[in-house]
Structure 1
């Protein structure tokens, strides 16, 4: 059953959030594919992964420029990479179809992409077997909204 975690980026950019999500995913034994349409943004995400923490870096590669199967983390513009990832992070706030094969999808979006996130929420929460969760920033922490009501209420209340 796929799980989609919606992260509305109100304070920190994707480059600050993704290294944390990737580090936790790798620690759990999951490979990650990161999708972003902008090559410039993927370069910034790559830099953030390399500099995730002073004592380590998060090894990764870009679709088409490496041995994809060997990469624990792969960046590209679509939603399918060649690294056998179980998790996918959509980092540009533009929902993409074709993620059905992933166990978990992190959907990161900025406030200017809220309408697209609402549409994705509505469509995905209607799919049988799909779980949707809304995460919000609470100070320096992320907390899951109880019942994921904030985004769901906004979707239904349109």
Structure 2
């Protein structure tokens, strides 16, 4: 399983997450986006509808009758009712339940750097996990740092 750590230093989550979601869906995958707080999930829902005028990224918040059909599902916990094998932890909190997926995207900012470093170290002790650390360069592009 692969875990990609995305350190948000220049672009906010609202600009970074949609691009990842687009790539997952374009590759035929499904994505579960997890955020603990309802306000954050609502903001992510609005963001995915309006992040770019020329694109459409089908998604919904978990709990509706069509969850299983959604390529991108926003939820408060790790319940991939849409059959997702990819998970985005969008609130800066690492959850070990993400290890049940094929790939995890762990987004965090400077407020959550201590927790992200701890998760990085803990996952480094596991032989079944491949880790990558991405940071934003001067031009705002993602650069693999580890």
Q: Which has the higher contact order (CA 8 A, sep 6+)?
A: 2
Query: Gaps spanning 5+ residues in structure 1: where?
Result: 149-158
TM-superposed CA distance for 1:100, in Å, is 2.3
Residue pair 1:31, 1:85 contacting (<8 A) in 2 also: yes
What does residue range 36-115 of structure 1 map to in structure 2 within 5 Å? 36-115=35-114
Normalised TM-score (structure 1): 0.88
Residue deviations 1:40-59 (CA, integer Å, cap 9, x gap):
11111111111232222211
For residues 72-124 of structure 1, the C-alpha deviation after alignment (integer angstroms, 9 at most, x for no partner) is 00001112220000110001111112122211100000101111001100111
Size of the alignment, in residue pairs?
A: 145
Task: Structure 2: state its 5+ residue gaps.
Answer: none
Q: Distance in 1 between matches of 2:112 and 2:135?
A: 15
Q: CA deviation at 1:17?
A: 0.6
Instruction: Between 65-74 and 84-93, report the one with greater CA deviation.
Output: 65-74
| Other structure's SS at 1:99 match | helix
Q: State TM-score, norm by structure 2.
A: 0.94
Other-structure match for 2:12: 13
